[in-house]
């Protein structure tokens, strides 16, 4: 049996004259059992099924291959096959995507999923595809909440002076500056250690990530601010994808749908059960939050990061989706 490296880390295994197998590595930054891991497993299972075993797959979870920005760069140069990533660092590559990162924009999960599965989602995937990446489908991370080690956060005043890790995302950083915190951008694989060592006081992520990362070991308070919906996307390296036949590309798109379905089902499950898990593990969960003052401050500073360049049209279109 011989192994050849194809473009990225995908290995082609020749087992016989007519039989060729390609192993696809799906990289992401959360644990293997997380909402991304569940999505990656469903993608791999469907791809294996559709291709009759011509493609196999495995996860490289928990940031084994780097943070999300590194992973996206890896796709562009062909050192990484596939990635499931939040949009956090994607705006650095495709600035139009910042529209999706605006705080207090999406009303709820139904609204966000309708936008991403519809015309707007497809338009934004087309923009991604113009930037040396291939977007297969929109998955999700969930609505983000603030955790910290210092005090309950109920109002923007409670954020004052808190060193809060954010994603490497200009919109999020502007929003947290507006809401009164001191944002510290950092790649996710460094976050647990930074919280543990007190380099930062807090971070913000959905229940999916807070539970999967066991942040209760290093954070006391979680405030259900739901300040921003965090989309995710299944990306593939253009170097890998361009080498596929049309039929094979079709399998990847179909498998991505299965990945999204499993990912969203896991997000739904954790939205129902995750908060109880946080309490069970000793976190104080703050629910009596008036979101209006957070929204006013965040919108004032964050929206212009997008609108200064692209105007308000996309935002109006997103809001209009019922």
Q: Which residues bind ligand PAF (CB under 6 A)?
A: 29-30, 68, 85-86, 88, 141, 167, 188, 205, 209, 230, 232
Q: What is the distance between the alpha carbons of residues 228 and 215, in angstroms, rounded to a whole number?
A: 19
In this complex, which beta carbon is closest to ligand PAF, that of residue 12 or of residue 32? Answer: 32
Cβ-based neighbours of 162, under 8 Å, separated by 6 or more = 148, 150, 153, 181, 182, 201, 202
Q: CA 119, 124, 130, 134 torsion: positive or negative?
A: negative
The answer to whether the CB of 56 falls within 8 A of the CB of 89 is no
In this complex, which beta carbon is closest to ligand PAF, that of residue 99 or of residue 239? Answer: 99
Q: What is the distance between the alpha carbons of residues 276 and 299, in angstroms, rounded to a whole number?
A: 31
Shortest reach from residue 4's CB to ligand PAF, in Å = 32
Shortest reach from residue 190's CB to ligand PAF, in Å = 10
Shortest reach from residue 90's CB to ligand PAF, in Å = 10
Q: What is the distance between the alpha carbons of residues 68 and 70, in angstroms, rounded to a whole number?
A: 5
> Beta 55-60 vs 82-86: how paired, if at all?
unpaired
In this complex, which beta carbon is closest to ligand PAF, that of residue 86 or of residue 225? Answer: 86
In this complex, which beta carbon is closest to ligand PAF, that of residue 81 or of residue 101? Answer: 101
Residue whose Cβ sits closest to ligand PAF? 86
In this complex, which beta carbon is closest to ligand PAF, that of residue 188 or of residue 221? Answer: 188
Shortest reach from residue 88's CB to ligand PAF, in Å = 5
**Element housing 11 (H / E):** strand 10-14
3-state secondary structure of 139: strand
Shortest reach from residue 230's CB to ligand PAF, in Å = 6
């Amino acid at each position: 049996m011989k192994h050849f490296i194809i473009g990225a880390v995908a290995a082609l295994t020749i087992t016989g004259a007519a039989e060729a197998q390609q192993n696809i590595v799906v990289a992401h930054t959360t644990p293997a059992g997380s909402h991304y891991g569940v999505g990656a497993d469903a993608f791999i299972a469907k791809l294996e099924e559709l291709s009759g075993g011509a493609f196999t797959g495995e996860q490289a979870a928990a940031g084994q291959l780097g943070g999300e920005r590194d992973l996206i760069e890896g796709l562009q140069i062909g050192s990484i096959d596939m990635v499931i990533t939040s949009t956090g660092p994607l705006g650095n590559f495709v600035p139009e995507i910042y529209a999706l990162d605006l705080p207090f924009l999406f009303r709820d999960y139904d609204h966000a999923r309708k936008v991403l599965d519809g015309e707007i989602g497809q338009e934004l995937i087309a923009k991604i595809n113009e930037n040396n990446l291939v977007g297969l489908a929109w998955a999700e991370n969930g609505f983000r909440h603030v955790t910290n080690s210092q005090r309950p956060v109920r109002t923007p005043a409670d954020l004052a002076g808190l060193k809060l890790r954010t994603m490497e995302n200009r919109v999020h950083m502007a929003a947290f500056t507006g809401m009164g915190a001191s944002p510290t951008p950092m790649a996710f694989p460094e976050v647990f250690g930074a919280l543990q060592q007190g380099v930062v006081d807090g971070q913000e992520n959905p229940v999916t990530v807070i539970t999967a990362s066991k942040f209760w070991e290093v954070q006391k308070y979680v405030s259900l601010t739901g300040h921003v919906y965090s989309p995710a996307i299944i990306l593939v390296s253009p170097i890998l994808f361009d080498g596929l036949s049309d039929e094979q590309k079709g399998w990847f798109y179909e498998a991505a749908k299965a990945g999204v379905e499993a990912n969203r089902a896991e997000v739904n499950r954790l939205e129902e059960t995750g908060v109880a898990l946080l309490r069970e593990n000793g976190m104080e969960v703050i629910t009596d939050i008036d979101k209006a003052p957070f929204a006013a401050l965040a919108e004032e500073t964050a929206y212009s990061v997008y609108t200064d360049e692209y105007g308000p049209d996309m935002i109006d279109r997103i809001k209009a989706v019922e």
